[in-house]
Structure 1
């Protein structure tokens, strides 16, 4: 019979007459150690950088970049996945040896594999066939297993079935991330950002600009602004084919396009349950070619290689900065840079891939150059 079923032989007082610990004691201790590990990781990372973006010196507004590529696996999703693990540990859904299953071919799988490896629990990613080769190379060295779901629309259901078959935990980031950040994400990205802004010229920004993938980051900022009665607006940028902008504009909570976004990490073919439209003050639709142009402009201006979603937020910020310039409004805008550019070497940074996709960033790059030189915003 396993030691846990017999009763743990450790005695709280250490004396020979102390009663054996009950069977649940080891489970609780393991969960407590796992939580400590994840909190220690978060503390070691510390606040991700908040950088001032180089704007013309004559401009009144300031632009800041919150660089989430500094997370351990290079993406904002690491922060969210850590919160989901903490939430599942606190709820008892992950215990020692519990297999964890996700349905994604992106950054959530990479972060999940790294965190599961730290905790010593099995990790499985069910991914679309097109994403499998690149993802396998990134997560198998971390001890993860990859299962191909086909067709892509079936990946979510296949992951849920696999978790049930394994007796594991299906970590559904589109349903779980927003709740997990609310319950176990302290400090949230919003709290961290406003603490960093405290010593700046404009500690209360005019706008926060982020994308909506799981919806968790937008919700964290939206709730923070309302909880503290702050005047800051929350702007969410949305790429082509995504359901969020049209669903938000039309007030249709179950809006769907059925078409995947080409800008990784943000944009979804349906309104996901973690997206809370009532927390959003403004949505800005952004052409995919403009996201690529802005990503490249960002790298040239700051020396930081960030992903396409960071370009989407920069394009949205330019729209807002132009409005502030026209109105003579001082203050600041903060953009959330979601991930590093390394995973996109063969897509957004590959001109041949862009041609295959019918994307030409050149006209949008010219718009950006003119804006940062003159303050004139004419995206067409």
Structure 2
């Protein structure tokens, strides 16, 4: 059965590149149904897409060619994937806020298939806080974003904002629709986010971990067919659909949660950033400034990864993370050896784009016997996919 790709075309100068995208998708064997905003038709005629897709192009929300169905609902139901390219700042705002006033945005509310959004606009528009906030909303909802490229723009500026190349968007479509379920039947335990160690009912010790890396790994593992348990410290991220979510607060909580599920796990990926220290004594009431500076005695928290790895079986794959600020590889190699791991993922959080709270990461993966591979700066979702490729290969070799 031919997979149907909806192609939503927004009203920007990059709409002409959507014609090349439509052509490539058709040549790949997909059934392409094009939807256009009224503004998009000012840049390129629907007849162009009709000629390339061999299907009528839908523009008018109120044009219902078949009396036995509602057009946007029927198209949404038949879609294997919805690609929106170019996605203008206006269209992105509609998608993020649930506004449905044209055929593209109306259909977007009805689809249950994966959604791929490829932004294209002026560099200053792309960098505007409102646009970035809307993109973050879409990202957290599971929308797959294809970042725009950098270079000369139609407006005369040079910078980030040009639509990704059609070949790159097609590669994303192929990856989403033909993703291998190569972890089907496997049990994967992932930890994510920070832990919190209370000083008093108001204050606590923690760190800057956002949980984004661990959540990306859990989401990718679910998509590849694994039974996923995501043990997570406090984050602002939405739950990972398809994963069993286990919320924890302290490092002690994290240890107990992992111990409950590790025996049945095929894979343990420790992406959490537990607090390393906790107060020896937790104060029962808020310490008042008028009482002076408290003497805060600290003690180490449990080393969750080390304690769990002591009981690691030969048929399990354990992956640790080492977020460092200096001598990252040396510390990573020590962690790999000392904690009985198969792999450790090392990054320097002082590097731009590789620290806490961002959507990208640059890592080196170290393995047993001196094995090593370096990833370039990548979206965390792509880091997760590449890491799971390594895990899959390790499972197959056991």
Structure with greater Cα Rg: 2
Specify the TM-score bucket, using the shorter chain as the normaliser.
under 0.3
Larger RCO (alpha carbons 8 Å, 6+ apart): 1
- Give me the TM-score of the superposition, normalised by structure 1: 0.25
